[in-house]
Amino acid sequence: MTNSWIQRLPRWTLAVPPLAFVDLLVTWHRDLSPFLLTLVCLGLGAAVIAAVHHAEVVAHRVGEPYGTLILALAVTIIEVALIVTLMASGGEKAASLARDTVFAAVMITCNGILGLALVVGSLRHRVQEFRVQASYSALTVMTALVTLSLVLPTFTTSAPGPRFSSAQLAFAGVTSLVLYGVFVFIQTIRHRDYFLPVRADDDSDVDDEDDHAAAPSTRTALLSLGLLFVCLIAVVGLAKTVSPRLESAVESAGAPLAVVGVVIALLVLLPETVAAVRAALRNRLQTSVNLALGSALASIGLTIPAIAVASIWLSGPLVLGLDGKEMVLFALTVVTAMLTLATGRATLLQGAVHLAVFSAFLFLAVSP
């Protein structure tokens, strides 16, 4: 973050939201030629990046840990909107889309984002520190949410297949929302100090530019908030426009439809990945951990309740239960994260292990 965008928003961040919205109006309900498809993809990517940029502006206004929370919520709103939109138009083919996208988000955040942040941070600073209380709290809630929402449906018997009955889905949705709400209360009010960046002993290793830079004005923050909503609308609409071509491409390549969920999660989490890496390079690993685990929590804690409500009017089935391969990957992720977060200090080796698990997830998604 620099004074240039704090004092005045960059021109591209002002131009992208309306241009992406115009892109949506031009391509809505039209057969996409190669040119229009390229236009949609460019608009979608630019809108996601602009959305997270405006979330960062608002976040800098309210401070930490509210900043990482706003960023996680913005990304998750995009993800939830994409899932519900694609499920509404996908029929039975989209039955497992919510499960695939949420599980992909968990693997991307807990292995991809966290592992990449650990690697790049350790390469620059050798050893980085973070707060065990915050990290273990987030990991505990994340483990419970994934188990209750994505593992249990495989073993319940009230509905056929790896599915919840209506009552079970309602219970999972309410439980997810309550647990996430309690976590947010702990993060922002009761134990806010747990989630603040750790000060390094050597101040020269820490980039304090964000601390000393003036916060954006209220007018700038409100403008960014409005542009953020415009970006979210554009992202949802453009994703719905491009989804048929994405599914056709996946089917033509002979890959499982679960790859669609992985692509969606990778798309919406890409800007957050950049934010986590930037924080690690500034020796703010706690911020990176907050972003990674906070995004995983928001993804589950908000997506499952949204899907539970949307299931009232969604006509197709809703498959939430993970298969055996995915359960093994999730168990490996939890054990690896527990060992990584146990000491409050991270090195290159721990990051490499997380990236290895993430690589296994990507490989098995394409070649199950």
3-state secondary structure the chain: CCHHHHHCCCHHHHHHHHHHHHHHHHHCCCCCCHHHHHHHHHHHHHHHHHHHHHHHHHHHHHCCCHHHHHHHHHHHHHHHHHHHHHHHHHHHHHCCHHHHHHHHHHHHHHHHHHHHHHHHHHHHHCCEECCHHHHHHHHHHHHHHHHHHHHHHHCCCCCCCCCCCHHHHHHHHHHHHHHHHHHHHHHHHHCHHHHCCCCCCCHHHCCCHHHHCCCCCHHHHHHHHHHHHHHHHHHHHHHHHHHHHHHHHHHHCCCCCHHHHHHHHHHHHHHHHHHHHHHHHCCCHHHHHHHHHHHHHHHHHHHHHHHHHHCCCCCCCCCCCCCHHHHHHHHHHHHHHHHHHCCCEECHHHHHHHHHHHHHHHHHHHCC
Give the residue extent of every domain in the chain: 11-199+212-366
Return averaged pLDDT per consecutive 10 residues of the chain, 368 residues in all. Answer: 54 90 85 82 85 79 73 75 73 79 92 94 89 88 94 90 90 92 88 74 47 70 86 81 76 77 79 84 88 88 87 80 94 94 89 96 89
pLDDT value at residue 130: 86
User: The whole model's pTM is what?
Assistant: 0.82
Pick one of 1.10.3720.10, 3.40.50.300, 1.20.1420.30, 3.90.220.20 as the CATH number of 11-199+212-366: 1.20.1420.30
At residue 160's C-alpha, the angle toward residues 322 and 308, to 5°, is 65
Q: What is the model's pLDDT at position 214? A: 66
Residue for token digits 């490499």? 352
pLDDT at 242: 78
Comparing CA positions, the residue from 209, 208, 211, 226 lying closest to residue 9 is 226
Q: Residue 329 has which token pair?
A: 């990957």
